[in-house]
Structure 1
């Protein structure tokens, strides 16, 4: 199908992704049709297939783009110090990175069930890389005696869940500032991992 007169691929493609992200986060992947996404950006439904193979591919691409950006940003962090210091850096990084990405987080954690097995494997591999980065900090801290925890893998999952949960309730202008929440959560993460005071 021909592009709408005046449309541009460098504009329509990103608008498609933004609209899909917003609609999937608000209504859920299963409830959103390609026609709804097309209507949201003002193109014919058939035009969407110039930018994505199908709705499943779109969902997977949104998830993988988010996780690849997360990994790239994390790998750019200049970690320094002992395991407790690196653990605190991880906690603060995770909260800062996700602070403005509520829709991405919602989709990344709540729409996994809607991925095909192949796409799930692709997304899961990226998630595991990030989880392993935290698990490595925890394991090294335990081995050095700086962190007191029984199971670094379980602790990593619990910490990520705790940090990711901030986005479900935090609102600017509330009782606590973002900076104060970050300080409090960083302290809770260290205590969860048994960091010695």
Structure 2
């Protein structure tokens, strides 16, 4: 296969990432070959190694980029003054951010098992940073008397699992708007923490 016309690092590099994300989400990391990724991009398989060391590095880069961007976007999100305000901001942010990235979310949760130990440690650290953000909100709300929780860590994991689940069923052309889904989920979370 000849080099694709107009193939440059600033074009092909991101195309490799998009193709890998799409294929990993659709077929699973283990089932996808570098040849398939190259075919999706329209380059020779050997050309991929100009953009990534190997398939493992590609998976790690996808996950790390997703989590780095998630954490940066949360930092930029207005949060309000009270723990209840911050919890609502977190719920709405999590749903909105993840609905725009279903493939990245799927990979971030389902392909952890395919990371080599050093890569897993980095990704797990970033995930814990995000989880701690929510746990800190819940802990502050409990201490302020805004929330009633027997275990903030368990509540953290339950809320994140519930919010993330939206990406598996939500469709923009479905019967509920994104805003309506955010409001319904916020009300469920609010009641779950007795806010």
With normalisation by structure 1, the TM-score equals 0.95
1:147 matched to which residue of 2?
147
Q: Which residue of 1 aligns with 2:13?
A: 13
- Equivalent residue, structure 1, for 2:37: 37
Cα deviation, 1:27-50, whole Å, max 9, x if unaligned, reads 000000000000111111010000
Structure 1 SS opposite 2:194:
coil
CA RMSD of aligned residues (A): 1.2
Q: Which runs of 4+ in 1 moved over 2 A?
A: 2-6
Q: Match of 2:122?
A: 122
Q: Cα offset for 1:3?
A: 5.7
> Contact 2:78–2:89 (CA<8 Å) still a contact in 1?
no
Distance 2:6 2:153 in 1: 52
1:102-141 to 2 correspondences below 5 Å: 102-141=102-141
Q: Give the corresponding residue for 2:83.
A: 83
* C-alpha distance in structure 2 between counterparts of 1:55 and 1:111, whole Å: 12
Distance 2:49 2:41 in 1: 14
Task: Work out the CA distance in 1 between the residues paired with 2:48 and 2:190.
Answer: 46
Figure out how many residues of one structure are paired with residues of the other and give that number.
194
Which sections of structure 1, spanning at least 5 residues, go unmatched? none
State the Cα distance separating 1:173 from its structure 2 match: 2.1
Secondary structure at the counterpart of residue 194 of structure 1? coil
Q: CA–CA distance in 2 between the matches of 1:38 and 1:109?
A: 24
Counterpart residue number, 1:52: 52
Task: Decide whether aligned partners of structure 1 residues 5 and 177 sit closer, same or farther in structure 2, where only a CA change above 3 A counts.
Answer: closer
The DSSP-based 3-state class of the residue aligned with 2:57 is: helix
Q: Distance in 2 between matches of 1:29 and 1:73?
A: 26
Give distance in 1, aligned partners of 2:190 and 2:88. 7
Seen in structure 2, the aligned counterparts of structure 1 residues 178 and 78 have a Cα distance that, compared at 3 Å, is: closer
Kindly report which structure 2 residues correspond to 1:151-190, keeping only aligned pairs within 5 A, or say none.
151-190=151-190
Q: Gaps (5+ residues) in structure 2?
A: none
Normalising by structure 2, we get a TM-score of 0.96
Counterparts of 2:6 and 2:18, CA distance in 1: 19
For 1:52-88, what per-residue CA distance to the aligned partner results, in whole angstroms no more than 9, with x for missing partners?
0000000000000000000001011222121111101
